[in-house]
Amino acid sequence: MTAPEPTRPGQVHSPATDIFETDEAITVLADMPGVRADALQIDLRDNVLTLTGRVLRQEGNYEAELLCEFQPSTFYRQFTLSERIDQSKIDAKLTAGVLRLELPKIERAKPRQIQVRTG
């Protein structure tokens, strides 16, 4: 793993991710169960997209543990984007633990037909 080690203890998981691309945008969908919007960081710089989501420990009364198959952990993943992204139009939505990130591409100059006039 090339990523720097986190200072906070706990497990770091790579979220399961779907990525698809259309002519207009790249869309990233990532499963991050337990992550709330205020604990999710999305960072895009130098064409590297970084997703970091922290699951906060469930507050509540003292409970005796009977079975533990998942723990409050951190979701972390980086992607390199080959397309130029319009930073001002990025849209991120977090619903039921799934992040949907729309990364619109910068509009290229549209091909234009040039009429040649005869004079």
Partner 1 sequence: MLVRRVWPGRPTFNASLSDFEQARQEMLRLFDSMANESPTSPSGVFPPLNVGQDEDNVFVRAEIPGINPEQLSISVLRNRVSIAGKREIQLEQGRAAYHRRERPEGSFSRTLTLPVEVDAERVDARYADGILTLTLPKAEAAKPRQIEVRT
Q: Which residues make up the interface to partner 1 (CB under 8 A)?
A: 11, 13, 16-23, 27, 29, 31-36, 58, 60-70, 73, 95-98
Nearest to 16 by CA among 37, 30, 1, 36: 30
The distance of closest approach from Cβ of residue 18 to partner 1 in the complex, given in angstroms and rounded to an integer, is 5
The distance of closest approach from Cβ of residue 114 to partner 1 in the complex, given in angstroms and rounded to an integer, is 27
The distance of closest approach from Cβ of residue 119 to partner 1 in the complex, given in angstroms and rounded to an integer, is 42
Token duo for residue 47: 């064409």
For β-strands 91-95 and 98-104, DSSP reports them as antiparallel
Residue among 19 and 92 whose Cβ is closer to partner 1: 19
Residue pair 74/39 in contact (Cβ under 8 Å)? The answer is no
Residue among 17 and 50 whose Cβ is closer to partner 1: 17
Residue among 37 and 106 whose Cβ is closer to partner 1: 37
d(CA 55, CA 117): 65
Alpha helices by DSSP H, listed for 3-53, are: none
